Structure 1
Amino acid sequence: METEDMNTDRVRHVLTSLMILSFLIFGGLSAIILITDTPLTTSSVSLPFAFLFVSAMTLIVTGQIDERPKLTKKYLRQWILVCVFMVLVAALAFTLA
């Protein structure tokens, strides 16, 4: 039982680090867009949006894991599926724009 709690803590720490990193990348990309005075088109906004979405989804999943640690695997599986889908949508928008 103790190893399951340790694994859940590790997952929470990794997700928190990923959330912070994703938000920092979003902030950096947004700053680059603002500094370079890039017009807001689909291709210029899709990449920062993908990082913002990953950060927000990670925050939500971390909260769910805190509430119900026994469902960690289920929440992680759903998180990966949703994040991959939205990153693919953002990549498609970036490519087709």
Structure 2
Amino acid sequence: MTILLLLIPISLLLLCVAVWFLVWGVRSGQYDDLDSPGHRILFEDDAHLIPKDARTPEQEKKLQNKAEQKAKALEAKDMAQKALKTQDADKKNE
């Protein structure tokens, strides 16, 4: 019976901690948008298919970054091909 004198305060303390975490989560916006994360994963790779007015700024940034990366990759590929052609031409001239 004396164990209750220990268990009741511990359980009340745990209850207060749980309530504090719940209040913290609500105040910090953790429960503001429950649907978008579930839908966002479906459009992760297909961001270009999302209409412009429905895109989040994060998605727009990702699209711009991907476009820049593709442009850089194409430029690097073109430069490599030109370098190979130049080397081939030099070998033929020797």
TM-score tier (shorter): 0.3 to 0.5
Per the normalisation by structure 2, the TM-score is 0.38
Name the structure where helix makes up a greater proportion of residues: 1
Asked which structure has the greater RCO (Cα within 8 Å, sep 6+), the reply is 1
